[in-house]
A and B are shown apart, each in its own frame.
Chain A
Amino acid sequence: MSELKTTLAGYVTYRGREGHWSFLLHRITGLGVVLFLTIHIIDIAFVYFNPVLFMKAIEIYRSTLFGVGEIFLVFCVFYHGVNGLRIAYLDLFKPQGWHIESQRRSVRWTLVIALVLWLPSAFWMLRNLLIHNYGLFGG
């Protein structure tokens, strides 16, 4: 129990600015994606094991609550991907690029790139949600 507390307290109170924020974002987005991915593999497996349950799952995914969650999921995947590329590129091919000063800039750019990738998708998904669940835009 105390180990859990110490680690969690470290996650919150460590003041590493950009590096700290990107570490936390990478973990939170990663955990969110792997949680969804597990559910998603199982619901798709239902097309073989139990197609009735598959359609029930799809019905839940079509709800507004899940639609909003899906929009956040897409952000998680974009952010985790862009940040993962930054980490993989530096670790594997340019470890001398791990400088605090330059990485503070990179972390900010990572977030900007993820947001730029996400916004058009978020707009389109929100539009789809409003069309199908609220009959807007001639739905």
Chain B
Amino acid sequence: MASVSQTVRRVRVRPNYETIAWKWMRYSAFAMIPLVWGHMILQDVIVGVHRIDLDYVAMRWASLFWRVYDTLLLGFAFAHGVNGLRQVLNDFIHGERARKVMNWLLFLFWLIITLIGGTALIAGVNRAFPLS
């Protein structure tokens, strides 16, 4: 076998937004394997969408454990996802100004959706809502 070339070079980079985002994508991966796979196998495979309704969500969120679990999911997965989207868009958007606008729009997108999800997680199932 031909000898393989070494391509590793140690460099010192002062921490900045991009290095933190780079690390975030990788460290959050380890947390999300049990969180996301566990959630998906339980809800999509074992329980299944045909058995999920308001009562099911209410029963699940009656337990603090599952609310904390879902909060962790929301925090890890969505931030990982939006930053991933940012990485993809960076391939297509090159201008400095355009990237600045893109970063702000994505940040707002992340913040708004996270707040919407977080509100529901804290408030729970709304029984007062007029159900037909």
Q: Does A13 lie at the interface of the complex (its beta carbon under 8 Å from any beta carbon of B)?
A: no
Q: Do residues A96 and B36 form an inter-chain contact, with CB atoms below 8 A? A: no
- Chain A, interface size category, equals 35 or more
Q: List residues of chain B with CB under 8 Å of any chain A CB.
A: 1, 4, 6-8, 23, 25-27, 29-30, 32-33, 36-37, 40-41, 44-45, 48-50, 52-54, 57-58, 74, 77-78, 81-82, 84-85, 88, 91-94, 113-114, 116-117, 119-120, 123-126, 129-132
- Contact A52 to B132, CB < 8 A, known contacts A58-B52, A58-B53, A61-B49: yes
Partner of B57, one of A31, A47, A92, A96: A47
Q: Do residues A47 and B54 form an inter-chain contact, with CB atoms below 8 A? A: yes
Q: How far is the CA of A92 from the CA of B41 in the complex (A)?
A: 28
Smallest CB-CB separation from A11: which chain B residue?
Answer: B91
Smallest CB-CB separation from A45: which chain B residue?
Answer: B120
Partner of B45, one of A4, A67, A121: A121
Residues of B within 8 A of A42 (CB): 113, 116-117
A 64-103 binary contact with B (CB < 8 Å = 1; else 0): 0001001001100110010011011001100110111110
Q: Does A132 lie at the interface of the complex (its beta carbon under 8 Å from any beta carbon of B)?
A: yes
Q: How far is the CA of A62 from the CA of B54 in the complex (A)?
A: 15
Q: Would you call the interface of chain A mostly helix, strand, loop, or mixed?
A: helix
Residues of A within 8 A of B74 (CB): 41
Residues of A within 8 A of B52 (CB): 58
Partner of A31, one of B4, B85, B93: B85
Q: Do residues A44 and B27 form an inter-chain contact, with CB atoms below 8 A? A: no
Smallest CB-CB separation from B116: which chain A residue?
Answer: A45
A 112-139 binary contact with B (CB < 8 Å = 1; else 0): 0000000001001100100010000000
Residues of A within 8 A of B94 (CB): 3
- Contact A87 to B116, CB < 8 A, known contacts A4-B92, A27-B88: no
Task: List 24 A–B pairs whose Cβ atoms lie within 8 Å, in order of A's numbering.
Answer: A3-B92, A3-B93, A31-B88, A33-B81, A37-B78, A38-B81, A44-B120, A47-B120, A49-B119, A49-B120, A49-B126, A50-B129, A51-B125, A51-B129, A51-B131, A52-B129, A52-B131, A54-B57, A58-B53, A62-B49, A70-B49, A74-B45, A81-B29, A96-B6
Known A45-B116, A50-B126, A125-B44; 10 more pairs at CB < 8 Å: A7-B91, A41-B74, A46-B120, A47-B125, A47-B126, A48-B125, A48-B126, A81-B33, A99-B4, A125-B45
